[in-house]
Amino acid sequence: MEATLSDGTSAKAEVPSGASTGEKEAVELRDGGDRLSGKGVMNAVNNVNGPLNEALKGKDPFNQAAIDNVMIDLDGTKNKARLGANAILGVSMAIARAASKSKKEPLYRYLGGCDLELPQTFHNVINGGKHADNGIDIQEFMITAVNKISFRDGFEKIVNTYHALKRVIEDAGFETGLGDEGGFAPNLKSSEEALKMLQKAIIKAGYKPGKDIAIAFDAAASSFYNKEDGKYHFEDHVWDGNQMLDYYEKLLKEFPEIVSCEDPFDENDWTNFEKFTERFGSTHQVVADDNVCTNPELVRKAIEDKLCNAILIKLNQIGTITETLETIRLARKNGMTTMVSHRSGETGDTFIADFTVATNGGQLKSGAPARSERVEKYNRLLEIEEQIGVQNERLNHFPNDVRLD
């Protein structure tokens, strides 16, 4: 998607696609039919070149909220089903980038002014669930550098651990093929095996689990929840909600370096999700993704119900920059942390790197330090750090430590 302003400035944007998607996400418009197995996007392209183009001609590109609201009103549906969130978001991002170029400002500075923060990054280094073809049902096992003096320092610790993990996997006799998000996808039999490998890798890289490098996971539990019997079909077990809670409790006790847990229950199983937060929320970050889909209305309900203590942020779940900003503000004002996220079907666009810095997003997950579409985001963050200057940067730390703020 390319936007051109009246002064001749132009900029492009690329919109990602998700493999593990929530039911309440804004609609990614596909063509259907036989062409490209129904995955074509010519209808979305035509919407960009036709009605969206006509509606935005002559509008002020520096008023992002007005731009986005024109498109929201033109679509006229709650989930952007008519024009497509992929069409609308591409325009929203491209215009923001063009506006920043016209102002001769980097995108993070245009969106965030002088209130900027380099994020705590979470890296999916062992893939399971829908992101891999193996026996692990938990979808993502992530590592994050909790002891760091700069963004580069933390990222180098992650890279060292990632390469140590490859050696650990090889030594155990498994192949080191990569999953969708650049993480390894060994054919392990259980999540415990994956976590033990991560422990070994952290130590092998010369770090202390929990002190230097912590662990997080995204269960993506909707993918192993069976709607017909209301049970969780998890790694050769068939469990109800209470049994899943007991399993998580055992897991968190056995692996105290786990600091963050995402989507531990099905997106519609709010009762057990709330129980999880009540039981573990005082000691762990509990992230909601599929339940809320970056939607302000759903986030309000999550706040009222005490569903979680953190919100995952994906621009293409809601479809505009403006609505994403509203969700971030809402979460923050109500004491929740936010984690900006990539998608499994990611592109080379580095927009979310600038966006996370600009919005004080706090945390970012964008896959392993592998595959160009992942690494480009981290390279962009390193570039931003150089531009701001290590001595001038504000660095997010998680878990939060007031002595470091």
Give residue-wise pLDDT tens across range 228-280: 999 999 998 999 999 999 999 999 999 999 999 999 999 999 999 999 999 99
Between CA 205 and CA 369 the distance in angstroms is: 15
Q: State residue 328 phi and psi, 5-degree precision.
A: -60, -45
Which pLDDT score, from 0 to 100, does residue 20 have?
62
**How would you label 28-55 residue by residue, b for 16+ Cβ within 10 Å and e otherwise?**
bbbbeeeeeeeeebeebbebbeebbeeb
Q: Please list the active-site residues.
A: 181, 314
SS3 311: strand
Burial class (CB in 10 A: 0-12, 13-18, 19+), 238: exposed
Question: What residues does 232 pair with on adjacent strands?
Answer: 225, 239
Query: Hey, what domains does the chain have and what are their CATH numbers?
Result: 16-110 (3.30.390.10), 120-404 (3.20.20.120)
CA distance 405 to 286: 22
Q: Mind listing the pLDDT tens digit for each residue in 204-225?
A: 999 999 999 999 999 999 999 9
pLDDT at 131 over 90: no
Specify the amino acid at residue 365: K
For 312-335, write each residue's pLDDT tens digit.
999 999 999 999 999 999 999 999
What 3-state class would DSSP assign to 265? coil
120-132: average pLDDT: 86
Closest by CA position to 350, among listed 100, 178, 183: 100
Residues 316/319/324/326 CA torsion (nearest 10 deg): -160
**pTM passes above 0.85:** yes
Residues contacting 55, CB < 8 A, separation 6+: 70, 71, 74
Angle at 129 between CA 121 and CA 218, to 5 degrees: 35
Q: Are strands 2-4 and 10-12 parallel, antiparallel or unpaired?
A: antiparallel
